[in-house]
């Protein structure tokens, strides 16, 4: 069975972009692959976050993962900080990476270009830790949204560099993205991705948003003045974004939805997408609350960490021998 691994940062609440770009894929893959999914809490502190918020986000995230259909019997679900090998290999990868290649990472560049104050060294070296997260488990594939592909490319380069310098140690992973929903855009500015840091709450649909409010956000989504329902991300980003959301949540191919809307306007499309999102969130949140009530999160994490450690500890021992730490 091929192996797959991915992670998500517990910063802020999860939104529809995270679901469509990442979590919905994980649930699909759990039957076909040996799947490792972790909460990237060490990455979360690269920007300031209160301990109580980090704790709450982490718990919510696990419960949401489970509510989205991840089955802990099939998937190894764990916290990054529960497996010490991540931080250990993270340091070694930091020492494998060049300043120049880290400076080229667009996520870091975007943050610094905005002139944000207090950008930490951790935010800069973040991709090296991400490389460690991946390489510890020798996955064949890393399913991520478009914004993370560059980090997976860097991971490949660091793995090749290490293998070349110290002999074959890491498998070279492939990034994997679905064709629809690689990127979900803001509802208020469909040229920007839907993101946790978006300042206008009407642009983002959180998975824990009140479903009726979420429906309203879809109904007031920014579109264009062309008035024809077409999938054309270049010229009609707002409408295309709605089509993506509808397609992923309903399972109906985009072309079929477009065909159904021949001669119809945006109002009807927004109504349908609004209803789809409403039902999706209502069902998801009911499952989420049930999982929190059942208090199963701790057990899932404990078992997940034990399984992950078995693999990661073996790999880090091998790496320590190769770099000369074990004498």
Site map (CB under 6 A) of ligand TYM, residues 153-192, x = contact: ------------------------------xx--------
Contact between 90 and ligand TYM (CB under 6 A)? no
The reply, when asked if residue 102 is annotated as ligand binding, is: no
From 68, 92, 105, 134, residue interacting with ligand TYM (rule: CB under 6 A): 134
Question: How many residues are there in the chain?
Answer: 327
3-state helix, strand, coil in the chain (%, to 5): 55, 10, 35
From the list 126, 168, 167, 159, the residue with the least C-alpha distance to 40 is 126
The reply, when asked if residue 148 is annotated as ligand binding, is: no
**Whether 290 is catalytic:** no
Nearer to ligand TYM, 241 or 276 (CB): 241
The reply, when asked if residue 11 is annotated as ligand binding, is: yes
Going by C-beta distance under 8 Å and a sequence separation of 6 or more, which residues neighbour residue 27? Answer: 68, 69, 70
Rg of the chain over CA atoms, in angstroms? 20
Going by C-beta distance under 8 Å and a sequence separation of 6 or more, which residues neighbour residue 201? Answer: none
From the list 75, 81, 62, the residue with the least C-alpha distance to 26 is 75
Number of H helices, E strands in the chain: 14, 5
Q: What's the distance, CA 187 to chain centroid?
A: 19
**Whether 193 is catalytic:** yes
Q: Order of strands across the sheet with 75-79?
A: 75-79, 34-39, 3-8, 141-143, 174-176
From 72, 145, 211, 274, residue interacting with ligand TYM (rule: CB under 6 A): 145
Number of chain residues interacting with ligand TYM (CB under 6 A)? 25
Asked if 136 and 317 touch (Cβ cutoff 8 Å), the reply is: no
Contact between 43 and ligand TYM (CB under 6 A)? yes
**Whether 196 is catalytic:** yes
> Which range of residues in 2-10, 88-96, 116-124, 256-264 is near ligand TYM by CB under 6 A?
2-10
Catalytic residue among 111, 149, 183, 318: 111
From 148, 241, 244, 246, residue interacting with ligand TYM (rule: CB under 6 A): 148
Task: Give, as ranges, the residues between 94 and 133 that touch ligand TYM (CB under 6 A).
Answer: 130, 133
The reply, when asked if residue 146 is annotated as ligand binding, is: yes
Q: How far is the CB of 44 from ligand TYM (least distance, A)?
A: 8
As annotated, the binding site for L-tryptophan includes 133
Q: Which residues bind ligand TYM (CB under 6 A)?
A: 6-9, 17-18, 20-22, 40, 43, 130, 133-134, 142, 144-145, 147-148, 151, 183-184, 193-195
By annotation, the residues acting in catalysis are: 111, 193, 196
């Amino acid at each position: 069975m091929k192996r797959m691994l991915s992670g998500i940062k517990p910063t802020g609440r999860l939104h529809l972009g995270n679901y469509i770009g990442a979590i919905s894929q994980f649930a699909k893959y759990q039957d076909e692959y040996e799947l490792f999914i972790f909460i990237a809490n060490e990455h979360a502190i690269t920007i300031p976050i209160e301990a109580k918020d980090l704790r709450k986000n982490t718990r919510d995230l696990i419960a949401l993962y489970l509510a989205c259909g991840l089955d802990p019997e099939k998937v190894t679900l764990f916290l990054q900080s529960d497996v010490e090998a991540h931080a250990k290999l993270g340091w070694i990868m930091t020492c494998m990476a060049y300043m120049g290649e880290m400076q080229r990472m667009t996520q870091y560049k975007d943050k610094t270009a905005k002139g944000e104050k207090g950008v930490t060294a951790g935010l800069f070296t973040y991709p090296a830790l991400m490389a460690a997260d991946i390489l510890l488990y020798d996955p064949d594939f890393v399913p991520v949204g478009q914004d993370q592909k560059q980090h997976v490319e860097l991971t490949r380069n660091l793995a090749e560099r290490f293998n070349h310098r110290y002999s074959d140690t890491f498998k070279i992973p492939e990034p994997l993205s679905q064709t629809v929903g690689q990127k979900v855009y803001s509802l208020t500015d469909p040229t920007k991705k839907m993101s946790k840091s978006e300042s206008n709450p009407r642009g983002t649909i959180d998975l824990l948003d009140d479903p009726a409010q979420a429906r309203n956000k879809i109904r007031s989504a920014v579109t264009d003045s062309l008035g024809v329902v077409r999938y054309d991300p270049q010229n009609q980003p707002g409408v295309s974004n709605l089509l993506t959301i509808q397609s992923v949540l309903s399972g109906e191919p985009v072309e079929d939805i477009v065909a159904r809307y021949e001669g119809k306007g945006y109002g009807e499309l927004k109504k349908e997408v609004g209803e789809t999102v409403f039902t999706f969130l209502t069902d998801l949140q009911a499952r989420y609350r049930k999982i929190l009530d059942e208090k199963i999160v701790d057990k899932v994490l404990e078992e997940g960490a034990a399984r992950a450690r078995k693999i990661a500890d073996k790999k880090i021992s091998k790496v320590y021998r190769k770099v000369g730490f074990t004498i």
